[in-house]
Structure 1
Amino acid sequence: MTSVSSGKSSTIIRTERGLTIAGTRITLYQLMDYICAGYPPKLIHNQFYITDEQFNAAMSYIETNRTEVEAEYQIVLQQAEEIRQYWEDRNRDRLAQIAGMPPKPERQAAWAKLQARKARLAVSS
């Protein structure tokens, strides 16, 4: 764990997970998800259970080191997509097998009702 923020109490640290708000498991990349989606700062702050000091330090760090944080964020997004694709490929056959299984006897009535509703929605579209 390495401190990357100056001051008497480092708020942003580098861990094995990347740039993280000290004392939490919240990474700056999680904040970047909301920033890139266009959420206002107040809404982002309310999404995470952190203090005003932690939030302001994180936003300040992101603004001050925008190029570095965005470059690391793109790497994190790429890694997440590779992991998602790996598991999707790995589970494709099993998910198809599960989808092809008939419903359990105790769920057949609910299954029939669901299928009828889907059919009605398909017709009305």
Structure 2
Amino acid sequence: MTTLSNEQTAIIRTERGLTIAGTRITIYDIMDYVTAQYPPKFIRGLFDLTEAQINAALAYIEAHRADVEAEYQIVLKEAEELRLYYEEKNRDLIARIAAQPPKPGQEAIRAKLQAAKAKFKSQL
């Protein structure tokens, strides 16, 4: 594993997977942004990491790219399966909420939202 200058382990394996030591941030969280080619400074600020933590995470990803990528694909698959499960489980609830009339005083906001949705769909 990657170590910090004070010999602490920077990347540890927890029940959540590979995690940056001292945080609840997983390498897979970081991988989302690395895959999207975000700059390290942005990722660091997004997760409120220290320079040493982001450097350790990025170094670990580079040093163990194949293993991390394989685990990342498993994490993405499991996340998609969970999303589909809860989408199906809550389908009736979501439909009931969508069918409710707008709350009084929100007519203008809803009209603006519908116009924005229509504009977005026309651009596709």
What TM-score do you get using the length of structure 2 for normalisation? Answer: 0.82
Matched residue type, 2:51: D
Residue of 99, 106, 110 corresponding to 1:110: 106
Trace 1:1-125 onto structure 2 (pairs within 5 A): 4-5=1-2, 8-104=7-103, 107=104, 109-111=105-107, 113-117=108-112, 118=114, 122=118
Closer/same/farther in 2, CA of residues 116 and 67 from structure 1, 3 Å limit? closer
Distance in 1 between residues matched to 2:21 and 2:59, nearest whole Å: 14
Which has the larger Rg?
1
- Structure 1 99/65 Cα, relative in aligned 2: closer, same or farther at 3 Å? same
Q: Which has the higher contact order (CA 8 A, sep 6+)?
A: 2
Change (3 A) 1:120 1:84: closer
Give the number of aligned pairs: 117
Deviations 1:48-68 (A, max 9, x none): 112111111111110000000
Q: What is the deviation of 1:119?
A: 5.7
One-letter amino acid of the counterpart of residue 110, structure 1: Q
Give the root-mean-square deviation of aligned CA atoms: 2.2
Whole-Å Cα distance in 1 between the matches of residues 69 and 29 of structure 2? 12
Q: What 5-or-longer segments of structure 2 have no aligned partner?
A: none
CA offsets per residue over residues 18-72 of structure 1, 9 Å max, x none?
A: 0001110010000000011111112111211121111111111100000000000
User: Within 2, Cα distance between the matches of 1:88 and 1:46?
Assistant: 32
TM-superposed deviation, 1:11: 0.6
Q: Structure 1 residue runs of 4+, over 6 Å off?
A: none
Question: 1:120 & 1:9 partners in 2: Cα distance?
Answer: 50
Deviation at 1:12, TM superposition (A): 0.5
Distance 1:121 1:11 in 2: 44
